[in-house]
């Protein structure tokens, strides 16, 4: 016997995965996690017995419910799974999957369109981060077709605007969890920063690389990956995160001077696999480092002047632009971060899990 669970399979930004109503999943967290592992087919490198795409970017799940606080329209819980692990991590955020939350809620009747455009406030339960998300809703229905393009996704789609309201210290104690804009940890100069995603940013040259290597080259570079993991473990302690050996954060980002007209070049590990692009909140956090005096990006990043700045973060498959606004009284304080994403409903239906894992009761 198998248990059917209603789901919409969606792309959010450069990620994808199944989205669920919270009420359609087990209330017990341990049972819910076993269900999600079965849904995705983890642990298995190919995820052959589930919906996972054999990559961390396609091993993601969205769980949505009506807002539980005044002024909040929707609550969103993101779950990161890994192909070869039996872990379900709901600690970090995912700005890419976030782009599909409002379309999912509109498709399922959780919220109603407001006109040609619809804006809803979403609270990410992982870290308590809030944002306003605007989608195109002509005729009262979600529009997925349009002229907006994001690198890492073929073709064009309707734009989805995300305006982050409070991203600093999403998981860590603050924007700069070590209290410094630059540290030397395990012999490497780094900036430890969290403006939506805990990151360790360091110069590619400081670990003997150019920063322009391909994703395949970096994923095959076992020496570099071992070096980065050693640094990650040390930085985790310095950032107040404890032992991060079994955690998906902090993410590790190599930086180098731009070479395609952007602000700087990046190569991101999430945390052990090199990202084909860069995560939304990782891009926001890298962009923030670029506007902070004294950070590791100083002398590398090319950033415009002024209180409103657009930082173009180059990545292996293109670039990601982030709009940042600085506090006039304290230019080291970023007051707003905004960006553009796209999303698409790929499939709707029911995903089946063995009844031995869950019989469909809500306990």
What are the DSSP calls for 196-260, one per residue?
A: SSEEEEEEGGGGT--S---HHHHHT-HHHHHHHHHHHHHHHHHTT----TTSS-SEEEEEE--SS
pLDDT at position 32 = 98
How many Cβ atoms sit within 10 Å of the Cβ of residue 139?
7
Average pLDDT value for residue range 354-359: 96
Contact 236, 288 (CB under 8 A): no
Q: Cα–Cα distance between 80 and 103 in angstroms, integer?
A: 20
Q: Cα–Cα distance between 53 and 45 in angstroms, integer?
A: 9
Query: Mind listing the pLDDT tens digit for each residue in 216-252?
Result: 999 999 999 999 999 999 999 999 999 999 898 999 9
pLDDT at position 265 = 98
**Is the confidence at residue 200, as pLDDT, over 70?**
yes
The pLDDT-based confidence of 79 (bands split at 50, 70, 90) is: very high
pLDDT at position 363 = 55
At residue 230, φ and ψ (nearest 5 deg) are: -60, -40
Q: What is the CATH number of domain 183-332?
A: 3.10.310.10
Q: What is the CATH number of domain 2-165+344-354?
A: 3.10.310.10
The pLDDT-based confidence of 152 (bands split at 50, 70, 90) is: confident
Average pLDDT value for residue range 39-54: 97
Instruction: Determine if the peptide bond prior to 54 is cis (ω within 30°).
Output: no
Would you kindly state where each structural domain of the chain is located, as residue ranges?
Answer: 2-165+344-354, 183-332
Q: Which two tokens stand for residue 23?
A: 């009420």
Query: Mind listing the pLDDT tens digit for each residue in 305-352?
Result: 899 999 999 999 999 999 999 989 988 888 889 999 999 999 999 999
Query: Mind listing the pLDDT tens digit for each residue in 2-30?
Result: 999 999 999 999 999 999 999 999 999 99
Query: Mind listing the pLDDT tens digit for each residue in 167-178?
Result: 888 889 999 999
pLDDT at position 362 = 66
pLDDT at position 332 = 85
The pLDDT-based confidence of 165 (bands split at 50, 70, 90) is: confident
Which residues are CB-neighbours of 102 under 8 A, at least 6 positions away? 74, 111, 118, 120, 122, 133, 135, 160
Please give the model's pTM, rounded to 2 decimal places. 0.81
Contact 39, 363 (CB under 8 A): no
pLDDT at position 199 = 97
Query: Mind listing the pLDDT tens digit for each residue in 276-308?
Result: 999 999 999 999 999 999 999 999 999 988 999
pLDDT at position 166 = 76
The DSSP bridge pattern shows strands 15-21 and 188-194 to be unpaired
* Domain 2-165+344-354 shares a fold with domain 183-332: yes
Q: Cα–Cα distance between 219 and 354 in angstroms, integer?
A: 34
| Mean pLDDT, all residues of the chain | 95
Partners of 68 in the β-ladder: none
């Amino acid at each position: 016997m198998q248990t059917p669970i209603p789901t919409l399979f969606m792309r959010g930004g450069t990620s994808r995965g199944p989205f669920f109503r919270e009420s359609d999943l087990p209330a017990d967290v341990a049972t819910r996690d076993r269900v999600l592992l079965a849904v995705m087919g983890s642990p298995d490198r190919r995820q052959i017995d589930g919906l996972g795409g054999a990559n961390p970017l396609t091993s993601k799940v969205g769980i949505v419910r009506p807002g539980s606080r005044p002024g909040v329209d929707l609550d969103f819980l993101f779950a990161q799974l890994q192909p070869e692990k039996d872990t379900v991590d709901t600690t970090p955020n995912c700005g890419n999957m976030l782009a599909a939350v409002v379309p999912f809620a509109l498709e399922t009747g959780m919220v109603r369109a407001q006109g040609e455009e619809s804006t809803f406030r979403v609270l990410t339960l992982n870290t308590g981060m809030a944002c306003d998300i605007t989608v195109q809703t002509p005729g009262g229905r979600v529009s997925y077709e349009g002229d907006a393009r994001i690198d890492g996704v073929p073709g064009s789609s309707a734009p989805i605007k995300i305006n982050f309201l409070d991203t600093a210290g999403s998981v860590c104690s603050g924007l700069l969890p070590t209290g410094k804009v630059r540290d030397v940890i395990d012999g490497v100069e780094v900036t430890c920063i969290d403006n939506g995603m805990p990151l360790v940013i360091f110069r590619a040259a400081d670990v003997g690389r150019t920063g322009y290597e391909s994703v395949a080259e970096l994923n095959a570079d076992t020496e570099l990956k071992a070096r980065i993991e050693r640094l990650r473990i040390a930085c985790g302690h310095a950032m107040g995160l404890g032992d991060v050996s079994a955690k998906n954060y902090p993410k590790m980002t190599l930086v180098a001077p731009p070479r395609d007209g952007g602000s700087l070049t990046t190569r991101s590990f999430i945390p052990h696999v090199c990202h084909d692009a860069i995560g939304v909140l990782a891009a926001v956090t890298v962009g923030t480092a670029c506007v902070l005096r004294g950070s590791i990006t100083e002398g590398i990043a090319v950033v415009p002047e002024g209180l409103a700045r657009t930082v173009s973060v180059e990545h292996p498959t293109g670039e990601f632009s982030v709009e940042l606004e600085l506090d006039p009284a304290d230019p080291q304080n970023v007051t707003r971060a905004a960006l553009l994403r796209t999303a698409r409903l790929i499939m709707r239906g029911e995903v089946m899990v063995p009844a031995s894992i869950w019989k469909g009761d809500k306990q």
